[in-house]
Structure 1
Amino acid sequence: MNECLKKKWTAICLTALLLLVIAGCSSTDSDGEEEMNSKGAMESYNVGDTFKAEEALEFSMMYSDHPNYPYKEDWLLWEKIEELTNVTLNPTIIPMSDYTQKRNLLISSGESPLIIPKTYPGEEASFVPSGAILPVSDYMDKMPHFRDKIEKWEMEDELETLQQSDGKFYLLPGLHENVWPEYTLIVRTDIFEENNIALPTTWDELYEAMKKLKEIYPDVTPFSDRYEFNSTLSIAATGFGTKAGWGFGNGLTYDKSKDQFVYSATTDEYKELLTYFNKLVKEGLLDKESFTQGDEQATQKFVSGNSFIINGNAQDVVTYRTSMDKLLGEGNYSIAKITVPGGPAGHLMAGSRFENGVMISSKAKESENFEALLQFIDWLYYSDEGQEFTKWGVEGTTYTKTDGVRNLVDDVNYNGLNPDGTTDLRVDYGFSGGVFAYGGTTELLHSMFTEEEIKFQEDMANIKTPIPLEPLIPYTAEDREQATLLSTPLKDYTDQNTLKFILGERDLNEFDTFVTELEGQGLQRYVDLANQTYQDYKHN
């Protein structure tokens, strides 16, 4: 961390402390209010401490209910949270499929619970102007574990990307020690080996490999994808020097040589990406239905041998193998994740050390237990102890730990880690469910990976160069609204034509015309607004 950043971080903390001192000395009433706001809080709470409220407390929170491990009132998770912290959580249960929409509605109507998890960086911005959520950067002195990880892992630059136009941030993101990739291509390694085809390390090598597969298996389309091709577009775009699919975001890419943002879909790199996948479709190597079929349909093609390549993550590998054991027979096939192929821009890796995080309702500040709430969130989400607890459960009950190595007890299964277990860590106990368990050290992250997945992570780390963070574009409330109004139709039109270009429904010779059409929909105003905001922030 450079000296300037250290001073900046120290200044934030000192300012918060100073404000508390001033508030405490201003009057008897203010002093009384400050005391009430600290009711139930630990008098001394620092890094390494286990939070336990001085009296029994109850906090409301939103809960995203996953259909594969639905909420249970009698989970060991809830029992142990209460036992360890003296806090009872009162969850508002929302189906995962409706979570974003209902979360937004509850916040906008002023009926939100105090703790609002499962919020990805950027999603908090629309709630800032109304004052509905807390500027959590004002209270870093109350969150020692969060602050410790930011400093220890030198994440000040990344945290700055969450700042709004007022210089504050309103989301407590999940924090990972290192960038870790999740999605890549999963291939039938037995088919590759049987036909003496090397596993590809670049997109060009993938093309050559699929050509050979098509010659050998003319009735098979080698690559049939899921996620409406958005995951593959995202991971491929990085190696082509652009953004697409899930990674398209606001549509802007920072051009360091010009110190300005450009619209990703108007660049030569984006055209090169489209040209590559159009070639795959044209030559019958990529299934046209990849862009419209459901995940189950794509999965069925892969597990039945009607395709040899599909996108996915480690959990998908487990799912595919379970189905293929039944269809093809255990030992009659082999599949594996391969490192994300490199592209014309090189072996690059996009990603962030941020994970979805927590917003806090601004109503929390009015609570007499405000400080206790901050301490509770800090311990549960950011302490090593809290992160291990929400991920692995209770030592001796759901896992054992010997010489620092954790293992599920014989009767507990998690995502194929202990397939003979008759109970499930998520379904039956409530741990590792995602509402709490995200972020932490790389050691903790890897502790629940198979050896195969750890090797994939290590290979990616050794081969790939992480892309530098892009500068911040901290819109004012008015400018953000304008940017959203401009960007939404631009992205819709980009998505439509990306599909047309790849499928050959629109000739790539019309790419320049496509750019002109975007300009007719306010492209320049959108890019100018972003660059003006960036330059103003940079100079100020």
Structure 2
Amino acid sequence: MTATLLLTASILGACSDEEGAAKKGENAGNVKATGMPIVEEKIQVDGFAAKFFASQDWNNLMLWEEYEKMTNIDVEWETVQIEGLAEKKNLKLAAGDYPDLFFASAFSKTDLLKYGQQGVFLPLNDYIDEYAPNFKKILEDYPSVKQGVTMADGNIYGFPTFYDPNFESLRAGTPWINKDWLNKLGLEEPETTDELYKVLKAFKEQDPNGNGQADELGWGSGYGIDQFIHYLRGTYGLNKQGSMNINLDFKEGTEEFRFVPATDEYKELLTFLNKLYMEGLINQDVFTTEPHVFAAEASKGNYGMLSEVDPKELFKLDGYIGVPVLEGPTGERSYNFVSNGLGNLGMFVLTDKAENPEAMVRWMDYFYGEEGSKMFFMGFEGVTYEEDESGKFKYLDTITNNPNGLNMDQAISEYLTWPGGYYPGMVRQKFFQGAEATENSIQNAEKTLPYTIKDEDILPGLNYTVEESEQVGAIMTDIQTYINEMTASFITGKQDFSKWDEYKKTLDKMGLQDYLELAQGAYERSTKEK
């Protein structure tokens, strides 16, 4: 059945591509080169999108209603909850029942290239060159972004999420520590891994909240062990080329890849986390808890250290400050979990059913410009935000202190779509009102900045051919599952570190060396092209 569906999809894709090919450019005369509306005569297109809040009806949402008035473009939205996105979009593509455009649908590089070469997704290079001045400028200003969005066949098939590299508190930030507890116990902020261990142990054992009960906890997160690992990567000398290829960095002094989860440094990192876990200094349900469950516990104020965004915004907790970047046992001290600002690449794609690609590229490009960013993230003056005398934008009290008891994300989602993080466009600090933009988060980032790796050292994501992508996918699906399982086992003590060599041999048996060869080839190809 699967084979039949795939064959049908390829046939339908080929047919619809031939039919659509004759239409390309036919409606370009209706598109204005600049200004609004985008088209002289109103058009209607079908769009599919992922959304975060089930209560939202995108066809009656202020953002899209107002944008329709501005552009003369009516998008008829079909939406799905983020949790059901992967299944729904894959079914649509397999059945050939897909829309003109996919928005906030998070297509992977593999999918972009596969469906692009099948003709289902349109190559956007020429349209960007002529109809997307805002996005084109980003590609010109940030060559690594252009390299990242360009597939191995030379085409761009998707518009990405792009985080302004100058928005430091969104790109980099350490966990948060309870400054009041430090003061109560006469402790300084930890500067090394050894000092962090001593601080967490003191938090747990010395009653810093002063209630006479042993109810204090050490370091917690509701988003899994990765939150801990990412913070410590630079402390243990890992990922000196950044986080765009999270399992890869260079062997010292070379441009030859090594596999991060198989290094001695990664073993040492896990050994440190094992020590914290076994002594109860990490939340014991870190591998199983869900964010909302952890939030209820964290809001009690019993954690001395938290790996989430600003606790004041997330949990209504005062007294937390950013933890310093730590020095590791070999003297390494760097914050390396940093990208070049490029998020998911496949957040906006046009299919071969799109009869007005020129108009829709202009429609999308607006959100990479200043005015579009402001509308997308702030909404509408007098309704959702106001501008103060200094020119700063802030949400109205009905959003930040909602009379119906809604939190900020819930309140703003009655007008806008950005909460949840699934969107194409450019994220600018002056228009973004999430927790990463608070004064506390900015101060945290400033503390981190001296130790953050330089932008020029960050390696863009690797681009594979279709054949290579299939090989990488086949190898890494099983390897990543195994790494996740063994990482949990080593940290929780279910697996002894004497089994480390056996773990590495298993990785090799699963095809690790083949993956490294493919990755090295993709890197060397991109270097030659550059």
Does the 8 Å contact 2:134/2:365 carry over to 1? yes
Instruction: Mark the CA change 1:539 to 1:34 in structure 2 (over 3 Å): closer, same or farther.
Output: closer
Corresponding residue of 2:203: 213
Q: Distance in 2 between matches of 1:239 and 1:109?
A: 48
Instruction: Mark the CA change 1:120 to 1:422 in structure 2 (over 3 Å): closer, same or farther.
Output: closer
How far apart are residue 81 of structure 1 and its match?
Answer: 0.8
Point out the more displaced range, 156-165 or 470-479. 470-479
Q: Distance in 2 between matches of 1:396 and 1:301?
A: 37
Q: Is 1:54 the equivalent of 2:54? A: no
CA-to-aligned-CA distance 1:230-278 (integer Å, 9 cap, x gap): 222223224323369x969663323362322211111121111111111
Percent of matched pairs sharing the same residue: 22
Matches within 5 A, 1:475-490: 475-490=464-479
The letter of the residue matching 1:165 is A
Q: Is 1:398 the equivalent of 2:384? A: yes
Instruction: Mark the CA change 1:109 to 1:240 in structure 2 (over 3 Å): closer, same or farther.
Output: farther
- Which one of the candidate residues 292, 297, 300 is aligned to 1:301? 297
- Which one of the candidate residues 305, 311, 315 is aligned to 1:320? 315
How far apart are residue 521 of structure 1 and its match?
Answer: 1.6
Matches within 5 A, 1:373-384: 373-379=360-366, 381-384=367-370
Does the 8 Å contact 2:124/2:156 carry over to 1? yes
CA-to-aligned-CA distance 1:286-316 (integer Å, 9 cap, x gap): 23322223334433433334432232113x6
Instruction: Mark the CA change 1:201 to 1:317 in structure 2 (over 3 Å): closer, same or farther.
Output: farther
The letter of the residue matching 2:320 is I
Q: Distance in 2 between matches of 1:298 and 1:447?
A: 20
Instruction: Mark the CA change 1:86 to 1:435 in structure 2 (over 3 Å): closer, same or farther.
Output: farther
Corresponding residue of 1:190: 180
Structural RMSD (CA)? 3.4
Q: Distance in 2 between matches of 1:528 and 1:94?
A: 38
Q: Distance in 1 between matches of 2:474 and 2:25?
A: 45
CA-to-aligned-CA distance 1:113-139 (integer Å, 9 cap, x gap): 222222266363453343321222232
Q: Distance in 2 between matches of 1:171 and 1:507?
A: 44
Instruction: Mark the CA change 1:112 to 1:198 in structure 2 (over 3 Å): closer, same or farther.
Output: farther
How far apart are residue 436 of structure 1 and its match?
Answer: 4.8
Q: Distance in 1 between matches of 2:496 and 2:396?
A: 58
Secondary structure of the 1:63 match is strand
Does the 8 Å contact 1:38/1:372 carry over to 2? yes
- Which one of the candidate residues 319, 326, 332 is aligned to 1:345? 332
Corresponding residue of 2:132: 143
Q: Is 1:166 the equivalent of 2:153? A: yes
How far apart are residue 89 of structure 1 and its match?
Answer: 1.5
Corresponding residue of 1:204: 194
Q: Distance in 2 between matches of 1:165 and 1:93?
A: 31
The letter of the residue matching 1:138 is D
Instruction: Mark the CA change 1:121 to 1:235 in structure 2 (over 3 Å): closer, same or farther.
Output: farther
Does the 8 Å contact 2:58/2:77 carry over to 1? no
CA-to-aligned-CA distance 1:459-488 (integer Å, 9 cap, x gap): 333442346222653322112111111111
Q: Is 1:233 the equivalent of 2:218? A: no
Q: Give the total of aligned pairs.
A: 489
Q: Which blocks of at least 5 consecutive residues in structure 1 are unaligned?
A: 1-29, 325-332
Q: Distance in 2 between matches of 1:299 and 1:412?
A: 21
Instruction: Mark the CA change 1:83 to 1:278 in structure 2 (over 3 Å): closer, same or farther.
Output: same
Q: Distance in 2 between matches of 1:74 and 1:114?
A: 20
Secondary structure of the 2:412 match is coil
Corresponding residue of 1:26: none
Does the 8 Å contact 1:243/1:270 carry over to 2? no
How far apart are residue 80 of structure 1 and its match?
Answer: 0.8
Matches within 5 A, 1:42-441: 42=32, 44-45=33-34, 49-67=35-53, 70-71=56-57, 73-118=59-104, 119=106, 122=109, 124-141=112-129, 142-151=131-140, 154-178=141-165, 180-181=170-171, 184-217=174-207, 220-242=216-238, 251-255=247-251, 257-314=253-310, 317-321=312-316, 334-338=319-323, 341=326, 343=328, 344-349=331-336, 350-356=338-344, 358-364=347-353, 367=355, 369-379=356-366, 381-401=367-387, 402-413=389-400, 425-430=411-416, 432-433=418-419, 434=421, 436=423, 438-441=425-428
TM-score (norm. length: structure 2): 0.82
Q: Distance in 1 between matches of 2:304 and 2:70?
A: 49
Q: Distance in 1 between matches of 2:231 and 2:325?
A: 7
Secondary structure of the 2:394 match is strand
Does the 8 Å contact 1:184/1:340 carry over to 2? yes
Q: Distance in 1 between matches of 2:134 and 2:450?
A: 30
- Which one of the candidate residues 452, 465, 468 is aligned to 2:453? 465
Secondary structure of the 2:45 match is strand
Instruction: Mark the CA change 1:254 to 1:472 in structure 2 (over 3 Å): closer, same or farther.
Output: farther
How far apart are residue 55 of structure 1 and its match?
Answer: 1.2
Instruction: Mark the CA change 1:302 to 1:536 in structure 2 (over 3 Å): closer, same or farther.
Output: closer
Q: Distance in 1 between matches of 2:504 and 2:461?
A: 25
CA-to-aligned-CA distance 1:7-59 (integer Å, 9 cap, x gap): xxxxxxxxxxxxxxxxxxxxxxx9996652314310x32xxx44532111222
Corresponding residue of 1:24: none
How far apart are residue 431 of structure 1 and its match?
Answer: 5.2
Q: Distance in 1 between matches of 2:340 and 2:399?
A: 32
Does the 8 Å contact 1:234/1:248 carry over to 2? no
Q: Distance in 1 between matches of 2:486 and 2:422?
A: 36
How far apart are residue 98 of structure 1 and its match?
Answer: 1.0
Q: Distance in 2 between matches of 1:235 and 1:109?
A: 43
Does the 8 Å contact 1:133/1:362 carry over to 2? yes
How far apart are residue 405 of structure 1 and its match?
Answer: 1.6
Instruction: Mark the CA change 1:500 to 1:424 in structure 2 (over 3 Å): closer, same or farther.
Output: closer
Instruction: Mark the CA change 1:471 to 1:338 in structure 2 (over 3 Å): closer, same or farther.
Output: closer
Instruction: Mark the CA change 1:456 to 1:107 in structure 2 (over 3 Å): closer, same or farther.
Output: farther
The letter of the residue matching 1:52 is I
Secondary structure of the 1:67 match is coil
The letter of the residue matching 1:450 is T
How far apart are residue 489 of structure 1 and its match?
Answer: 1.2
Q: Which blocks of at least 5 consecutive residues in structure 2 are unaligned?
A: 1-19, 208-213
